[in-house]
Amino acid sequence: MTRYGMVIDLAACNACNTCTVTCKVKNGTPPGVHWRRVLEDEVGVYPSVRRLFLPLACMHCGTPPCETTCPTGATQKREDGIVTIDYDLCVGCQACVVACPYGVRFFHEDRRSYFADRGSPVPWPLEGQALPEGVVSKCDLCLDRVLDGRQPACVENCPTSALHFGDLGDPRSGVCLLIAARKGRQLFREKGTDPSVYYVD
Amino acid sequence: MTLTAKGAGTDELVIAARPQRSWGLPVALDLSLQGAGAGLIAVAALFDLGSLLLGGLLAIMLSVALLMGHLGRPERFWRAASRPRTSWISRGVLLVGALVAVSVFALLAPIAGSVAAVAVRTTLLVLAALVMVYTGAVTSASAIPAWNSGLVPLLAFAYSLATGTGAALAVVAATSTGGEKLMLLQEAQLLLLAACFLVVLGYLWSLAFSSSRTARQSGRLLVRGRLALPFLGGALLLGVVVPFGLTAYAVALTGGGIALALALSGAARLAGDFALRFSLLRAGLYEPLL
């Protein structure tokens, strides 16, 4: 059974944030809403300091806590594993935001724009659906592109090939082979959310 | 993956414990009023004080109005009742709806018959108790370690019932509607406040010795950090210690100062209840991702 997921190569990511910008360009998310972003941290003490980068987006969990917490059924897990939000059902209570341990859900409060006097947050026609106000939104793995047989925009545009997209349900797929070869790990595996995003060093 | 995370930070682009910002003042007010209203209805049902029903109902209606303000799409609020099997918010919508319906029924059509009256009062009591528990359980179902505790619903229940009892005491003393009931309510309130104190201590203990570093961090915020004033000063001192002293003072009094003491105690309870909800919401931290 198909289960779409992603493998992120932390060794290849250099935090260029192309994925962040690509996501914004493709989905037209307003200021403050980052469906995909790269978290940063520093560890160690000078002169032995290392910078850490963690590309982050919705984990499309196997057992998504956001889905069970949602009081309206707006958040749903598709048969192919992609977790989606039906904006027409969402009431904007933000229970899913509080339930998600990964911090990848965003409440779209008002119609903010990066550009003055524009209704759209971006100055070009959006590829997908415009984001309505008063609802929660998140990465949908570029569902429209995936249904067209394409890869998510962030994967396609990553200049270091740190992002890999594929079918976790097929043991011969590239993502499964990568997970097996490089011991892919899930974030917060102990919480039982069974994320569809794996990280490899 | 041998990465370690740094300490707390508030920036969304840093790997660290993040404060939750989704639920704040309106939700704290909503939960506080909802709990207080349910507490008042529970006391009205338990002590057969039908005149208090209206107060409880008004508090709950006000809380619902506040909740509407918090929702991003309030015009679809009715959809929030559609997933009671898994969602605490859905359960809350249904419970509050049922409590309001039965309360309105009890107000508009007071039943004289003993069996039917007991049935209505019992239904009110059960629904009110469930709503009080809900005001804590709704936060328990989250990714925030400090909220993932069975003590949070218990705390919400104890605080809600004590706030309802405090409001009932103020009304009963002001209207002089029952000497025996007043004494019973005062004694019940002293016990409830003592229970509140113990549950707060238990909750702080559970945070301090939690296996989650983030939960311990939330506990430090409540006791020594930026939330110490609303939590220790508001939820504990104003919400428990002051009402306890005023209620005990009212028990000792025989003259006309009782109504004033109990009115002040009721007001302190309301403020303390709100302070508890607010500080607990603000102390909510997500765990660092690495």
What pLDDT is recorded for position B175? 85
DSSP state of A74: -
> Which of residues 12 through 51 in chain A touch B, CB cutoff 8 A?
34, 37-43
Determine the distance in angstroms separating the CA of B198 from the nearest CA of chain A, rounded to an integer.
28
For residue B275, name the pLDDT band (cuts at 50, 70, 90).
very high
Is beta strand A4-9 parallel, antiparallel or unpaired with respect to A197-200? parallel
Closest residue in B to A99 (Cα) is B142
> Which of residues 63 through 122 in chain B touch A, CB cutoff 8 A?
70-74, 76-77, 79-83, 86-90, 93
Domain enclosing residue A170, as ranges: 4-200
Q: What is the CATH number of the domain that holds A112?
A: 3.30.70.20
Chain B residues near residue A95 by CB distance under 8 angstroms = 87-89, 138, 141
Chain B residues near residue A93 by CB distance under 8 angstroms = 70-72, 80, 89
How many domains are there within chain A?
1
Looking at the complex, does the CB of residue A89 fall below 8 Å from at least one CB of chain B? Answer: yes
Distance (Å, rounded) from C-alpha B45 to C-alpha A9? 61
Closest residue in B to A70 (Cα) is B87
| A104-132 per-position pLDDT tens digit | 999 988 766 777 665 556 666 666 666 78
Distance (Å, rounded) from C-alpha A195 to C-alpha B3? 19
What pLDDT is recorded for position B12? 62
pLDDT over threshold 60, residue B7: no
* Nearest neighbour of A41 by CB, restricted to B5, B72, B139: B5
pLDDT over threshold 90, residue B109: no
Q: Write the ipTM.
A: 0.90
Closest residue in A to B70 (Cα) is A93
Q: What is the CATH number of the domain that holds B92?
A: 1.20.1630.10
Does B22 sit within 8 Å of A94, measured CB to CB? Answer: yes
How many domains are there within chain B?
1
* Nearest neighbour of A92 by CB, restricted to B72, B141, B143: B72
- For residue A132, whether the previous peptide bond is cis, meaning omega lies within 30 degrees of 0, is no
- Is B17 part of any domain? no
Q: What's the whole-number mean pLDDT along residues B82-98? A: 96
Looking at the complex, does the CB of residue A98 fall below 8 Å from at least one CB of chain B? Answer: yes
- Is B5 part of any domain? no
**DSSP one-letter string for A85-100:** E-TTT-----HHHHH-
- Is B16 part of any domain? no
Decide: helix, strand or coil at residue A131: coil
pLDDT over threshold 70, residue B3: no
- The per-residue pLDDT of chain B, averaged, comes to 90
Provide φ and ψ at B235, rounded to 5°. Answer: -70, -40
Q: Which two tokens stand for residue B261?
A: 């003491």
- Is B4 part of any domain? no
What pLDDT is recorded for position B100? 97
* Nearest neighbour of A39 by CB, restricted to B14, B76, B88: B14
Domain enclosing residue B189, as ranges: 24-286
Which of A52, A55, A59 has its CA nearest to residue A19?
A55
Q: Return all residues near B271 (Cβ < 8 A) that are at least 6 apart.
A: B234, B238, B239
| B27-75 per-position pLDDT tens digit | 999 999 999 999 999 999 998 888 899 999 999 999 999 999 899 999 9
List strand residue ranges (DSSP E) for chain A, in order: 4-9, 37-45, 48-56, 75-77, 83-85, 106-108, 135-137, 163-167, 197-200
- Is B239 part of any domain? yes
What pLDDT is recorded for position A132? 85
pLDDT over threshold 70, residue B255: no
Q: What H or E segment, with its residue span, contains residue A178?
A: helix A174-182
Q: What's the whole-number mean pLDDT along residues A15-30? A: 90
* Nearest neighbour of A40 by CB, restricted to B13, B76, B82: B13
- Is B12 part of any domain? no
For residue A175, name the pLDDT band (cuts at 50, 70, 90).
very high
- Is B8 part of any domain? no
